[in-house]
Chain A
Amino acid sequence: MAPRRPDVDPTAAVKDRSMQRQKELIASYYDRLAAVPETGEKTVATFVPGNLTELLLSFDIVPILPEINALQSGMRQKSAGYINEAERMGHSEDVCTYVKCDVGMLAGGNIGPTGKILPAADMLLLSYTGCFTFMKWFELLREEYKCPTVFLQTPYQARGEVTPEMRQYMIEQLKKVVIPSLEQLTGKKFDIDRLREALTLSARAEDDLVAVLESAKHRPSPIDSYFGGVYYIGPIFTAFRGTQEGCDYYAMLRKEVEQRIADGRGPTTPEGDLEDERFRLVVEGPPNWTNFREFWKMFYDEGAVVVASTYTKVGGLYDRGFRHDPSDPLGTLADYCLGCYTNLSLPKRVELLSDYVNEYEADGFLINSVKSCASFSAGQLLILREVEERTGRAGGFIESDLVDPRYFSGANIKNRIESYLQMVDQKRSAGVTS
């Protein structure tokens, strides 16, 4: 059973102040979007990996993030209907459910996850970073919105390195394609100083986020880097990177986490603090959103804490040293896009996961392979074997999907997690006794 504080009412979600603040920020973002018809603000739809939030903010543009809309719809149990609608319209069952969720939502009047109508995008910024689906997704949306589409290609780090030519290619695209398009859309001149200001704020928030993520090296870990992690990355992955509000949020979060360390407390869960950390895990792959709480519970009920995850790096690998750099505004945007987790080669992913297992002293690592996402999933079985071999720690493999509840088989996943954790336990005891 879940090792938790006895005084906690398990039916009530216990929230830290930062969690409340996170919720408010995301709600304010959706309110801002809903108010666009009145405010007249320009909107640009774009993707989380390789997002250019600071650049958009420097033009007073509000980003629309279809991936976030889809995952929010999944968490609010709306995605099944949207996916159904998209499949009824002829979209294949074999493709990414984020796309179908978005297409279905649009067909149903573009009512966003919070129940308010989302504005049409004035422009699609197709930041092509680390996922082929992105390209088709925006080609599909372009047919609906009939708005300009701007393409930004991020070369793939196939050999685990960024060459000067890759970087230069991106800078050229930013200079000659992206920025002129944003100028045209907004009627404003590109203001490099505003961009620099935003980048400065980004770097500050990134420092705090990294401190939060790395706090999981403590025992017990004060955070869960996957289930809790997705809340932590929410603001920086959406519209708040490069803003004062974003900075304040991460400063607050960091303080809270530091306090947790000082108090020797474990991570927060929907049922209170986790007191007895029995397993420290590294997780690869996105979570399931439709049954997020149920999924999370399968871990904390067993005392399993995720101490590092790759999913929380799709919007930037800050913990490996990258910071937005105001002294080189366009170069840093290029570096940012090039360095997102989804843009890493498989050998680099193996290396990162193995490093996480070692650095965070994890007992094992688990892959949640989602049906939707070839970018993540293709090759994960080899990753599993390689990481096991390199770290000597037990690897586990489960399958689900992002926002299609048809592919979340609760009983099956629970069984697998339980047997996996038993295996970890055995391996660990064998290690101690041998």
Chain B
Amino acid sequence: MTRTCQEIAAYSERLYYDLEFGSCKAWKEDGGGHCVGYMPVYAPREVIHAAGAMPVGIVGAGDWLEVIRGDAYYQSYLCHIPRSTVDLAVTGRLEFLDGMLFPSTCDVIRNLSGMWQMLRPETYSRYVDVPQNFDPEIGGRFWEHELRELARELGEVTGTEVTDARLRASIKLFDENRAVVNEMYALRRDQPHRAPTSEVYLVLRAGNVVDVETHTALVREYIDTAKATDRPDMDNSRVVIVGTFCEQPPLGLIKSIERSGCFVVDDDMLLVSRWFTADPAPDGDPFGALARAFVDHTVPTAVMYSPTSGRGKALVERVRRARAEGVIFAAPSFCVPALLDQPMLVAELDREGIPYTAFKYSENTGQFGPIREQTGTFADTMKLWSAA
């Protein structure tokens, strides 16, 4: 039986709201093996997979968990994702994880890696220090070694050695996954009325908690169904959302932006799913290929160093490629990478005459009225500008 877009989204939404991670536990029970969590922004999921584990994206608890214990670990002036993640941990919801990776996204996640060592000393965890030097001989070599170490340790956790053949196979699966995700993004860019972000996001997000092949099939199903489904087009403004790469905006916020008259035609949510702008080399040493892809083909984002000035240029390119009329800066409150990046991006948009608006959110923001009003006014203004 074929499912409608709404049904696929509804399935994905059930996964989204499942703070007990039922899909991961079921996968484990079905003989899947192990589950290894990772936090935003980037983790080498291929290596986790090659070690026989399901990579599980942990992005906090959104707006449907009342964080009580996690708040006792963080001051009010830090973002929300670490406190809800700690809450998930101390309430036992992450017990099913056999390991946890903390990428070098920012100091909050970095320090959380140390907290984890103290809070969950019995489970494997690792800080994943990605290179900020993009010379293959320097940063590339360092990263390749990190990948090998990670593989070795994960192999010890799962009992499955990460051989070259296994890693090559995993890389291929994630290449396929990235390709369909990119295709879904292209569909939304070209026909946003057929693939609203409130659905695209949920389908994308399902990739955090199902195995990669299942996810690839899910995205494929969604694309095919969306293409075949007639939905009324609307005279919305086309916007790119920037700043949502770590702590996730609540679903209600995404819906509010759409309902206020915007088509989101590009965003930076869950960037791990489309991190490489080109596939790793299919032949040769797979560790080397992954490392090389990282230094050569990483998507520009606030958490990665930009060796050349003009950080905003990449954003302008994205805006042009997406044929967007404006940019919405949506940054989590107290998000250092997003908020420090913003002035540089804004300066470039100003130079290019691209309109933008900005607000802050938290994953548990409950009041969307003011934001809806703001983005609605923004959408109207863009329409007026483009009509003028």
Give A contacts to B, CB under 8 Å. Answer: 89-92, 94-96, 99, 126, 128, 131-133, 135-137, 139-140, 142-143, 146, 149, 151, 153, 155-156, 158-159, 165, 168-169, 172-173, 176-177, 345-350, 369, 371, 374-375, 377-382, 386, 399
B356 to chain A, nearest CB (A): 11
Q: Is the CB of B78 within 8 A of A347?
A: no
Please name 10 further chain A to chain B contacts, defined as beta carbons within 8 Å, in addition to the given A151-B132, A345-B117, A346-B117, sorted by A numbering: A139-B344, A149-B307, A151-B305, A158-B102, A159-B117, A173-B138, A176-B137, A346-B113, A347-B118, A374-B111
Residue of A nearest to B303 (CB): A132
- Which residues of chain B come closer than 8 Å to A133, judged between CB atoms? 107, 336, 340
- List 18 A–B pairs whose Cβ atoms lie within 8 Å, in order of A's numbering: A90-B342, A90-B343, A90-B346, A94-B333, A139-B309, A139-B311, A155-B129, A156-B129, A158-B110, A158-B114, A168-B142, A345-B127, A374-B108, A377-B75, A378-B108, A381-B72, A382-B73, A382-B115
Q: Is the CB of B73 within 8 A of A132?
A: no
Q: Is the CB of A146 within 8 A of B309?
A: yes
Q: Which of A132, A347, A350, A386 contacts B107 (CB 8 A)?
A: A132
Does B74 belong to the interface (CB within 8 Å)?
yes
- Which residues of chain B come closer than 8 Å to A131, judged between CB atoms? 107
Does B164 belong to the interface (CB within 8 Å)?
no
Q: Is the CB of A378 within 8 A of B340?
A: no
- Which residues of chain A come closer than 8 Å to B115, judged between CB atoms? 346, 379, 382
A62 to chain B, nearest CB (A): 23
- Which residues of chain B come closer than 8 Å to A165, judged between CB atoms? 142, 145-146
- Which residues of chain A come closer than 8 Å to B310, judged between CB atoms? 143
**Residue of A89, A126, A133, A382 ringed by the most chain B CB atoms within 10 A:** A382
**Residue of A92, A168, A173 ringed by the most chain B CB atoms within 10 A:** A92
- Which residues of chain A come closer than 8 Å to B113, judged between CB atoms? 158, 345-346
Does B157 belong to the interface (CB within 8 Å)?
no
Residue of B nearest to A152 (CB): B133
- Which residues of chain B come closer than 8 Å to A369, judged between CB atoms? 75
Does B165 belong to the interface (CB within 8 Å)?
no
Does B271 belong to the interface (CB within 8 Å)?
no
Q: Is the CB of A94 within 8 A of B306?
A: no
B217 to chain A, nearest CB (A): 36
**Residue of A90, A139, A348 ringed by the most chain B CB atoms within 10 A:** A139
Q: Is the CB of A378 within 8 A of B107?
A: yes
Q: Is the CB of A95 within 8 A of B339?
A: yes
Residue of A nearest to B131 (CB): A153
Bound together, the chains give a CA A279 to CA B280 distance in angstroms of: 60
Q: Is the CB of B111 within 8 A of A346?
A: yes
- Which residues of chain A come closer than 8 Å to B318, judged between CB atoms? none
Q: Is the CB of B340 within 8 A of A136?
A: yes
Q: Is the CB of A89 within 8 A of B343?
A: yes
Does B385 belong to the interface (CB within 8 Å)?
no
Q: Is the CB of A176 within 8 A of B138?
A: yes
Bound together, the chains give a CA A136 to CA B242 distance in angstroms of: 16
Bound together, the chains give a CA A381 to CA B70 distance in angstroms of: 11
> Contact mask B284-304 → A, CB, 8 Å, 1/0?
000000000000000000110
Interface of chain B residues 334 through 365 with chain A (CB within 8 A): 334-337, 339-344, 346-347, 360
- Which residues of chain B come closer than 8 Å to A169, judged between CB atoms? 133, 138-139, 141-142
Q: Is the CB of B347 within 8 A of A143?
A: yes
**Those 9 A-B pairs whose CB atoms lie nearest each other, nearest first:** A346-B114, A158-B127, A136-B340, A92-B339, A378-B111, A379-B111, A169-B142, A375-B107, A374-B107
Does B179 belong to the interface (CB within 8 Å)?
no
A168 to chain B, nearest CB (A): 8
Residue of A nearest to B125 (CB): A158
Q: Is the CB of A94 within 8 A of B75?
A: no
Bound together, the chains give a CA A165 to CA B75 distance in angstroms of: 35
Q: Is the CB of A153 within 8 A of B139?
A: yes
Bound together, the chains give a CA A371 to CA B112 distance in angstroms of: 17
- Which residues of chain A come closer than 8 Å to B102, judged between CB atoms? 158
- Which residues of chain A come closer than 8 Å to B183, judged between CB atoms? none
Does B190 belong to the interface (CB within 8 Å)?
no
Bound together, the chains give a CA A305 to CA B74 distance in angstroms of: 28
B113 to chain A, nearest CB (A): 6
Q: Is the CB of A151 within 8 A of B307?
A: yes
Residue of B nearest to A142 (CB): B309
**Residue of B72, B102, B111, B119 ringed by the most chain A CB atoms within 10 A:** B111
- Which residues of chain B come closer than 8 Å to A349, judged between CB atoms? 114
Residue of B nearest to A370 (CB): B77
Contact A377 B337, CB 8 Å, known A158-B126, A173-B138, A346-B111:
no
Q: Is the CB of A92 within 8 A of B342?
A: yes
B357 to chain A, nearest CB (A): 13
Bound together, the chains give a CA A141 to CA B139 distance in angstroms of: 24
Bound together, the chains give a CA A149 to CA B308 distance in angstroms of: 8
- Which residues of chain B come closer than 8 Å to A99, judged between CB atoms? 340
- Which residues of chain B come closer than 8 Å to A91, judged between CB atoms? 343
**Residue of B78, B307, B331 ringed by the most chain A CB atoms within 10 A:** B78
Residue of B nearest to A135 (CB): B305
Q: Is the CB of B74 within 8 A of A381?
A: yes
- Which residues of chain B come closer than 8 Å to A156, judged between CB atoms? 104, 110, 127, 129
- Which residues of chain A come closer than 8 Å to B78, judged between CB atoms? 374, 377-378
Bound together, the chains give a CA A374 to CA B118 distance in angstroms of: 19
Bound together, the chains give a CA A377 to CA B250 distance in angstroms of: 26
Q: Which of B133, B336, B347 contacts A136 (CB 8 A)?
A: B336
Q: Is the CB of A350 within 8 A of B132?
A: no
- Which residues of chain A come closer than 8 Å to B344, judged between CB atoms? 139-140, 143
Q: Which of A132, A140, A377 contacts B110 (CB 8 A)?
A: A132
Does B106 belong to the interface (CB within 8 Å)?
yes
B189 to chain A, nearest CB (A): 28
Q: Is the CB of B118 within 8 A of A177?
A: no
Does B326 belong to the interface (CB within 8 Å)?
no
- Which residues of chain A come closer than 8 Å to B347, judged between CB atoms? 143
Q: Is the CB of B336 within 8 A of A143?
A: no
Interface of chain B residues 35 through 87 with chain A (CB within 8 A): 72-75, 77-78, 82
- Which residues of chain A come closer than 8 Å to B360, judged between CB atoms? 92, 94
Q: Which of A94, A350, A381 contacts B77 (CB 8 A)?
A: A94
Bound together, the chains give a CA A151 to CA B305 distance in angstroms of: 9
- Which residues of chain B come closer than 8 Å to A159, judged between CB atoms? 117, 127
Does B135 belong to the interface (CB within 8 Å)?
yes
Q: Which of A143, A177, A378, A380 contacts B112 (CB 8 A)?
A: A378
Q: Is the CB of A347 within 8 A of B75?
A: no
Q: Is the CB of B132 within 8 A of A371?
A: no
B341 to chain A, nearest CB (A): 6
- Which residues of chain B come closer than 8 Å to A143, judged between CB atoms? 309-311, 344, 347
Bound together, the chains give a CA A386 to CA B115 distance in angstroms of: 11
- Which residues of chain A come closer than 8 Å to B108, judged between CB atoms? 374, 378
Bound together, the chains give a CA A369 to CA B344 distance in angstroms of: 28
Bound together, the chains give a CA A90 to CA B339 distance in angstroms of: 10
Q: Which of A94, A153, A375 contacts B334 (CB 8 A)?
A: A94
